[in-house]
Structure 1
């Protein structure tokens, strides 16, 4: 199956949610009045697109050219076009511009962080880049073990220590080794204990400070991995990790398990952070660079 096919299939629950919300709101040959426009706007907010985007779509539908009415396909097309306008400026691939490029990966436990790191490593390898991983979530033995397994599967080296070890020290060793070995991309896992925000903040700050001794510009990217099934909660995660870690870009996983895919639009509208990649499955190829047009059309169920 092509990536677009996987994306359409993966977003099926979100598309159905949006479709269910707007079903019956098309007017056919009747004009769109304020009451109907309000209903459409509310339906879009209920589909997690966010009030700002829903408001813009309402304004667009209030335009004179729809005075004679609109069918459901027409609404979908307008939704897709407006969603793409929001997403296009933030759909940016993660560019590798230096060696080693140090990528810090943050996110709550269970967001799919470890598997996302493996999938990113595979993407970079496919681009001909040399990749190294670092098991910086020293809080959980399972996270270290899991990342070792993934490193072995993908065929990349890993720097790992024992549970309870110093995460900053491990990150320092990983950056030094990546420099010495001429590695293109170093991806560092981190702990995701949001319930202890102060501790997490201290740990990440220390990690950044220690890495900075070797390369003042590192880490070059701080990626936040978001689980689509958390819905609106993802917006608060962006806020918290933005403050704690200085997030520079987003990766969204598990879109295939959620009806809340519209939330990515609300996140783009609110935070304007680059969306580097999205995941729609468990397979190694099920994480790909983010394409605004493909996502917008698949989400809205609009025809090309």
Structure 2
């Protein structure tokens, strides 16, 4: 296997390693107990490993796929020492994700032939949606791109104010209206402003509610329809933000939002300080939607483009 021969950016890798430290420590504490006193990988070890992976929020379906891959390795190699299990996990999970979840995103790049590139951001309140938008806008700006923000979450004054704080912080224009305004109207005005400014990227915040899928679907459909009056192929991306620290609840939110709207990309936040980082492996494997970004800390630069091999390398280091 050649997955881990790539040399990662040292600063980025150190940040990722630190972010996943709790997940890594928790996993290895469980794994050490599972293989204690065992010299080889046998059925008992695999049963224990299955429990460890599920309890590490990897998810049942993905865990079963991993166990099947390990079983094939045991069959092929005849004898696998328990001490080799860590390396085998890294290799097999990296291979599995590379086979099932497509190509990784290029470092905060956008297609040159789509201008403005419109990103509509969805997700429930409290997942780090506004923070992700601000950090994403900052990264795009550092790439030399002109960015415009749209505060279309008009159901909470706090949401508008929070986005304004980020706009001021990264010195990016924002289009906003009063609380209670029509979200579609804000999105329309944002795209009109972006076109007039010859902007490269537009990021539209939307309301973080999921209590009624029909209402959510109708609202997001209306926003899309109105935006297309200005930019016919908008939005180019529908980015769903998920809180990685909620573990399996992030799976459920992903399921519900993909029912309610056509999600094209995922961002998993708050991976620092949680032991539930395994959820990213499960989400990356289970949904036919790429994980594009991960939140690995509170600093403005602590939003990273998700790289499957790099993530697995840090999780199982």
1:74-118 per-position Cα deviation (integer Å, ceiling 9, x unaligned): 212122122222433253245412110110000000010001001
Distance 2:124 2:183 in 1: 16
- Tell me the equivalent position of 2:312: 296
How many residues are aligned here?
300
Partner of 1:4: 13
Distance 2:77 2:67 in 1: 11
Unaligned 5+ runs, structure 1 = none
Aligned to 1:70: 81
- Counterpart for residue 136 of structure 1: 152
Answer yes or no: is 1:237 the counterpart of 2:250.
no
- Quote the Cα distance in structure 1 between the aligned partners of 2:212 and 2:70: 45
Question: In the alignment, which residue of structure 2 is the partner of 1:39?
Answer: 48
8 Å CA contact 1:32–1:67 kept in 2: the answer is no
The TM-score, its normalising length taken from structure 1, stands at 0.93
> For 2:313 and 2:258, how far apart are their aligned partners in 1?
29
Alignment of 1:65-144 (within 5 A): 67-72=78-83, 74-88=84-98, 89-93=102-106, 95-97=109-111, 98-144=114-160
C-alpha separation in 1, matches of 2:276 and 2:259: 24
* Match among 154, 159, 173 for residue 157 of structure 1: 173
Q: Matched residue of 1:54: which SS?
A: helix
Tell me by how many angstroms 1:53 deviates. 3.3
1:128-173 deviation per Cα after TM superposition (whole angstroms, max 9, x unaligned): 1100000010001011111111101101100011000010011001
Cα distance, 1:276 vs structure 2: 1.0
| Contact 1:99-1:184 at 8 Å conserved across structures | yes
Q: Is the 8 A contact 1:103 1:186 kept in 2?
A: yes
Matches of 2:19 and 2:177 in 1, distance apart? Answer: 36
Residues in 2 aligned to 1:203 and 1:107: alpha-carbon distance in whole angstroms: 13
* CA RMSD in angstroms, aligned pairs only: 1.8
Distance in 1, Cα, partners of 2:75 & 2:217: 51
Alpha-carbon separation, structure 2, partners of 1:178 and 1:48: 40
**Alpha-carbon distance change, 252 to 289 in structure 1, aligned in 2, over 3 angstroms:** same
Distance 1:31-1:65 versus aligned 2 partners, 3 A rule = farther
8 A contact 1:21–1:44 mirrored in 2: no
Contact 1:134 1:170 in 2 (8 A): yes
TM-score (norm 2): 0.89
Question: Can you give the 5+ residue segments of structure 2 that lack an aligned partner in the other structure?
Answer: 1-9
Aligned partner of residue 80 in structure 1, secondary structure = helix
Cα offsets for 1:20-41 (capped at 9, x unmatched): 2211333787333222222212
2:244 alignment partner in structure 1: 228
Between the aligned partners of 1:17 and 1:257, the Cα distance in structure 2 is 12
Does 2:210 align with 1:194? Answer: yes
Q: Would the aligned equivalents of 1:136 and 1:191 in 2 still touch at CA under 8 Å?
A: yes
